[in-house]
Chains A and B, each alone.
Chain A
Amino acid sequence: MDIIIQALINGLLTGSYYGLAALGLTIIFGVIKVINFAHGSLLMVGMFAAYWMVRLTGWHPYAALIVVVPLLFLFGYALQGILIKPILEGQRDVREPTEVIIVTTGVWYILDNLALMIFGAEYRVVQTSITGQIFMLGDYIFPKAQLYGLITTAVTAGLVLWFLKYTKTGMSIRAASLDRDAASLMGINQYRVYNIAFGIGAMIAGIVGCVLIPFYYVFPTVGVIFDVKCFIIVVLGGLGSIPGALAGGVIVGLIESTFSQYMTSTWTELIVYVVFLAVLFIRPAGLFGEKRDW
């Protein structure tokens, strides 16, 4: 068994759910032009929703998607509609509504601490039918839970791209993301578009929750672990770019898994940042980013 091939496999599998976790962040940024600091908390909410669904019903984690996905969509939709919309309205004439960043930071703190209050600080893991299951290809190990994660990432990204490209709502989202004033003049209700975009971001966090639950633990500040990684991935791939988020995720996953075979894993974090800076130096808009003036 060649250790590097196994490391590449692991990197690809890990990178795919990193990419999926970053996908929601990039979509919300692409449309609202707001960096959502509550993204980690949305992931946490998604993970807790998935955790409780699986725990209470005993369903397969992917069956829980049926409930978790609409639930998180509504959650994101309401969060944007109730908390963020008033600020966006107040800053109607500003191209970059920076105050919203502060609001999302507040949402992050509130959600994390609410979870701490309700669920306690303990770590929770749920045993599912795919937990610890592996699939062998020759000598190489593919953990089933992560393999399904890879497939889910591909399917989710494909569906989101299709939705944005071919549906009417998708087109209105893209229009609003290009120029929200012009879109409004064309009869698009920009706040409804934002609600939907935020809903999609939260919905993807719910999908991430279902993917992670079979092999990962949940606790109230679990979002923080993924937060910084998601930001790196999104900027690396290009803010607002869906293929960028996936590519960024896989790059980070591969760096972590392959480099750590030659050095201690503490040092691989440094490599991730060096690659990150190098990419920004050569392509300031990120790998797949378009040069825009936002």
Chain B
Amino acid sequence: MKKGEYYYRGCVGVLAAIVMCALVVGFESSSYAADENVVKIGNILPLSGPSASVGIQGQNARKLATEYINKAGGIKSLGGAKIVNIWTDSKGDPNVGVTAAEQLINTDKVHLISGAWNSAVTYPSTQVAERYGVPYIVPVSVRDTITERGFKYTFRIAAKDSWWARDQFLFLEEQKKLTGTKLQTIAFVYENGDWGTGMRDQWSVLAKEFGYKVVLDEPYPSTASDLTPVVMKIKTRKPDVILLTSNAADAILLTNTMATMKVKAKAVIGTGGGHADPMFRKNTGKNCEYMFDVVEWETDLNRPEIPDLNAEFKKRYGYDLAGESVDAFASVYVIADALERAASTDPKKIRDALAATRLCVGDSRLGIDILSYDCVEFEESGQNKHAGIILVQFREVDGAMERVTVYPGKAARKGFPAVFPMP
């Protein structure tokens, strides 16, 4: 081999190496830039199984809010970065939810997680996010302990269940005074998951405090094919007040079976969830009339932005906004606001920005302006301290079953005082 050819080959080799390096660096920097321009939210939701209906409503609300925010220019402090949602189906199963959280963090490299509706799923999956230091927004999951573990990366927008239970009893006290109705016995009927049992624990403490005699304490599986036995038990114990915690399918089945079996009580109060699902009214018809429900949100609230947004939502997805979809909708705005202030996708900085959130109605953010309470501001624990609850009664208005806000007094719809006791 001649010496010149050797050098020539050497030069080609070096050149090729330089080109390769340049290409690799180029690709790396371009993919880096692409990462910089999207913020990935990993969503864990029950998209199939018994809570699928409410999970899909939360998904639709997130889609719509994301579309609005991206259309308005995305996250400006991040160069107009777009929000991208990644969806995972928890099936309402804690194990699936934990795996989903691991996968979102390790494989999809999401910047935040949002979810998971079922408290049983939220509880362990927030633990995964805490371990990795990834902010986890919980629009709705009411179990108290979710924000009582000293976690730094979990933020809950909706009220926790002790606040729901507290308001259920306060409402009963108000009605006792207003109508002079005697209420002495109470029945707890609840789905046997984390949510139901969490509500029950609150109820038993409050029942003692307010002087009720608990005549029935009945958990049941949400997937039960028949709830007649439960209804029979309610019938024999004859409680004045029935407190329910149900998912959608069982709420429908319980209400219809109670009507068939002619179960009467002075007040039947649901705890959102299945009773707040628009399917509940549609599928129980007259059977749900005069029942009460506690809920974080209602379409008849006095907020000017609600009618337009609700019309758009209904046009796209075929049903009204509800508590779950509004909190999910607002959550995307809370996230966008935090990202804007963090001006970074570093999880620690996003977390600090979330902790400093203070968004109030009237700050011209659509997602916040439709809330029933005034502000979103997190306590040290990550709980939104302003979150509140309203009570509604199912009433027939102009031939259609509606949820009429009856409590607290100032938020109540005009001309519709609560019908109490139930006829």
Contacts and interface: CB of A to CB of B under 8 A. Distances in A.
Given A132-B259, A264-B220, A265-B220, A121 B56 contact: yes
B395 to A, nearest CB: 19
A7 B232 contact: yes
A14 B262 contact: no
Contact of A261 (B220, B221, B226, B229): B229
Interface stretch (A87-95, A99-107, A219-227): A219-227
Nearest to B223: A225
Q: Which of A10, A121, A261, A264 has the most CB of B within 10 A?
A: A121
Contacts, number: 101
B271 to A, nearest CB: 18
A215 B285 contact: no
Interface stretch (B46-54, B137-145, B334-342, B366-374): B46-54
Interface in B228-244: 228-230, 232-233, 236
A141 interface: yes
Given A127-B285, A141-B260, A264-B219, A219 B232 contact: no
How large, as a class, is the contact surface on chain A? 35 or more
B64 to A, nearest CB: 17
A156 interface: no
A77 to B, nearest CB: 28
Contacts of B256: 125, 131-132, 215
B299 interface: no
Contacts of B220: 264-266
B284 interface: yes
Given A127-B285, A225-B223, A226-B225, A134 B260 contact: yes
Given A132-B260, A143-B260, A265-B219, A221 B49 contact: yes
Contact of B221 (A125, A134, A219, A265): A265
Contacts of A190: none
B229 A260 contact: yes
Contact of B226 (A14, A141, A219): A14
A216 B228 CA distance: 12
Contact of A215 (B48, B218, B233, B260): B260
Contacts of B49: 221
Q: Which 8 residue pairs across A and B have the least CB separation, nearest first?
A: A125-B283, A260-B229, A121-B52, A265-B220, A10-B228, A257-B229, A14-B226, A123-B279
Interface of A: 3, 6-7, 10, 14, 18, 116, 120-125, 127, 131-132, 134, 141, 143, 215-217, 219, 221, 224-226, 229, 253, 256-257, 260-261, 264-266, 268-269
8 contacts: A3-B236, A141-B261, A215-B256, A215-B257, A256-B229, A261-B236, A264-B217, A266-B192
